[in-house]
Structure 1
Amino acid sequence: MSRSVLVTGGNRGIGLAIARAFADAGDKVAVTYRTGEPPEELAKLGCLAVKCDITEAEQVERCFKEVEEKHGAVEVLVANAGVTRDQLLLRMSEEDFTSVLDTNLTGTFRVVKRATRAMLRARKGRVVLISSVVGLLGSAGQANYAASKAGLVGFARSVARELGSRSITCNVVAPGFVDTDMTKVLSDDQREGIVKQVPLGRYAQPEEVAASVRFLASDEAAYITGAVIPVDGGLGMGH
């Protein structure tokens, strides 16, 4: 059956790959984007693109109302939207820290809280949060980002315990280094240094992350909740 799926930050990179995976499976997919115009591929896939800044509760509410009117209540939520403001700790401003947490962690709280309202009534639902290997390993210059992504694990496991009796699962996917526009800006030396740390010796493709997300939203994963699934080539093993 075609489900109503919402992917935040689904206009590029990992989020776009996730949206594509669900659309290819026949689901009704909506994505949020914050700035600019959504890519033409979304329209070709039949996806609904909704402009929404998840740091604004009013915009989140408007987004969900639009999705509900056009696709029905959200049955699968993928909280992918995130930002970075990298800086060494002693140079990191309060704004650098709080703005990243407000998007990556508090923004996720906003969309999960809103989505689970209908899931509770339906007594079913799938929530998948996109964290990062950095949230498990830590990373110099990314204390804000790592804190926000680590926070998603505790948040997801609390939601899993709270809503499990209503057949709502909440899981986390923790990608490692993924071949996207964000990593393409790195120099060849930087990319080579990163790959040397990865046991599989390569970057992930966005489609590999999307495959794990789609599995967690499938009937086959009905008994998996509160899990952290690494898609990192072995980089964060043991954490």
Structure 2
Amino acid sequence: MSLSISGKTAIVTGAAHGIGLAIARHFIDRGAQVMFADIDEEKLLAELGDEAKSEGPARYFSGDLCEKLTVKNLLSATVDAFDRIDILVNCARTFAPCDPLEPSTEVLDAMLAQNMKSALRVSQLTAKRMIKQAEDEGRTEGEIGTIINVSTLASARTQPELMAYSIACAAQDQAIRSLAVALAPHRIRVNGVSFASVMSRSLQDALKENDDWREAICEGTPLGRIAPPSELAETVQYLASSGASFVTGQIINVDGGRGLLDRVQVPAF
């Protein structure tokens, strides 16, 4: 089984911080070419430094991926830089609590727009580019691309104050399954990775304010620890590789077993 992604071109969204940055860096270390995409241009430049100015395997794109034109510009920038797109990793997400009894849908609208609709639009437009790319190359057999969405355990757990976020995560999981079936005839695989007890940027920020959460998370996670983002990146690499060539429409939990018990009343960011 080959887990190699060497020579592949990937777009990773949410790549300026936390898990997205770890995935993008992991892909670079494994020989891929990566477009680091994020709305935070300042942080992208700080992370990439001189790499962003070179002709090397790491480039960056900054913009609001909730806008369709921005997504099109991202795809064009990636093709201009690397000539092709083989892998998409949707990792951009935002988190906000809400009052489940508040009639206003402002937070829900924001969570759906930024955590589900944006990833869906990027996936749809990237898939179309992959299909055209294969047609232009005359490729009639074999996989032409793969899409991986990063989700969280919140999609399957009930914490009322996270209702809007959980709904958006659950919607994203269903979009993974629907796209997997729709894109299978085009030889594009679509999968997801659902995480908890992984040191995301949101969790890192939360622990600065609530350090007692650290012990609660470790006690409620069978493997007894919080994982670094690199362990999630390994699973994403597997799904992007030919080793997962017969895997589509699946959502793999990377949570140290936390979802089996669900004793932790700490958000799965």
TM-score for both structures, normalised by structure 2 = 0.83
Identity %: 30
Select 2:21's aligned residue among 16, 24, 32.
Answer: 16
Indicate the residue corresponding to 1:5 in structure 2: 10
Indicate the residue corresponding to 1:182 in structure 2: 202
Indicate the residue corresponding to 2:180 in structure 1: 160
What are the residue-to-residue correspondences of 1:60-209 with 2, within 5 Å? 60-91=71-102, 93-121=104-132, 122=134, 124-185=144-205, 186=207, 187-209=210-232
Q: Tell me, which stretches of 5 or more residues in structure 2 are unaligned?
A: 1-5, 135-142, 263-269
Select 1:42's aligned residue among 37, 44, 48.
Answer: 48
Question: 1: CA distance between counterparts of 2:252 and 2:260?
Answer: 11
Question: 1: CA distance between counterparts of 2:152 and 2:80?
Answer: 32
Question: 1: CA distance between counterparts of 2:62 and 2:216?
Answer: 37
Map Cα deviations across residues 183-205 of structure 1 (whole Å, 9 max, x no partner): 22322212222222211111121
Question: 1: CA distance between counterparts of 2:160 and 2:194?
Answer: 18
Select 1:221's aligned residue among 227, 244, 247.
Answer: 244
Higher mean C-alpha displacement, 219-228 vs 36-45: 36-45
1:182 counterpart letter in structure 2: S
- CA contact 2:16–2:47 (8 Å) conserved in 1: no
Higher mean C-alpha displacement, 218-227 vs 41-50: 41-50
Residues 223 and 238 of structure 1, relative CA distance in 2, 3 Å threshold: farther
Which structure has the larger Rg over C-alpha atoms? 2
- CA contact 2:32–2:57 (8 Å) conserved in 1: no
Indicate the residue corresponding to 1:230 in structure 2: 253
Partner SS, residue 141 of structure 1: helix
Q: CA deviation at 1:36?
A: 4.4
2:99 counterpart letter in structure 1: L
Map Cα deviations across residues 52-105 of structure 1 (whole Å, 9 max, x no partner): 211111111111111111112321000110001112312474221101110110
Partner SS, residue 31 of structure 1: strand
Question: 1: CA distance between counterparts of 2:85 and 2:203?
Answer: 31
Partner SS, residue 148 of structure 2: strand
Q: Tell me, which stretches of 5 or more residues in structure 1 are unaligned?
A: none
Q: Determine if the alignment matches structure 1 residue 211 to structure 2 residue 234.
A: yes
Q: CA deviation at 1:39?
A: 4.7
Map Cα deviations across residues 3-57 of structure 1 (whole Å, 9 max, x no partner): 1100011111000110011111111100111124115443448411100211111
Indicate the residue corresponding to 1:28 in structure 2: 33
1:195 counterpart letter in structure 2: C
Partner SS, residue 89 of structure 1: coil
Indicate the residue corresponding to 2:265 in structure 1: none
Map Cα deviations across residues 82-140 of structure 1 (whole Å, 9 max, x no partner): 00111231247422110111011000111001100122232611100001011122333
